[in-house]
Amino acid sequence: MAYSEIKLNFINHSNDTNNSSIVIFQQNVAENFGEIAVAWKVIENCGRLDNHPFTYPLQFQVSAKDSYGNYTPQLTAVDGQAYEMVKDTSGDVLTIASTPASSAAEVEVRNSLLQGAIDGCIFRDGRLLATKTNIAPGQKAVFQFQPRIYIGVVSQVTESQIMNSAIIKTINTELNLFGISSADIVMTGGGPGPGSSPFEFTLANVNTM
């Protein structure tokens, strides 16, 4: 049986009384990590003992934004494929490039326009997962993702927001989803006062593919 998505269920078993938000993001392993990342999913107002089911599709989509603020339609991304922004008679469009990506494990977004920088955008489950901004003509962005998510407690972060290194450094839980078809993500810890324990996130009730 071929699985197209991983079913995940966040469960709040913590002692948190601050109504903290939970952020989930991924690392683009083709780029230097640690500078920025995109808040792919933010779980808000999930009270104690509440749960929040969501899905992690195995496929992701690619799009591009031109210097005029236009976004191209999202195309299903294929590892090893390159996509390029070109100008045709209708305007700026994103097409499959005639030559593949440099690596079979990566997806490339190339700026083949004569002028104007573009942003390369990756979406998973309809939400922005990663972006590379200001790709000059003749330059490209490279994307590669492993089946791992990073999860942590944040404040004042919204979905699709680009998070800086200061926020990212506070999030140190990595969950490996490789080979999993469904699992619970259980949050524990927290609580009022100086004696509270750190938040922890663990996988439970794991089913494999």
**What does the H/E/C string look like for 143-177?**
ECCCCEEEEEEECCCCCCCEEEHHHHCCCCEEEEC
Tens digits of pLDDT across the chain (209 residues): 457 999 999 999 999 888 899 999 999 999 875 568 999 999 999 999 999 999 999 999 999 999 999 999 999 999 999 999 999 999 999 999 999 999 999 999 999 999 999 999 999 999 999 999 999 999 999 999 999 999 999 988 999 999 988 888 889 899 999 999 999 999 999 888 777 889 999 999 999 98
Residue 112 · residue 88 · CB < 8 Å: no
The single-letter DSSP state of residue 71 is: B
Q: Is 59 exposed, middle or buried (0-12, 13-18, 19+ CB in 10 A)?
A: exposed
At 196, which helix (H) or strand (E)? none
Question: Domains in the chain, ordered, with CATH?
Answer: 5-58+147-208 (2.60.40), 61-143 (no CATH)
Tokens of 198: 């750190």
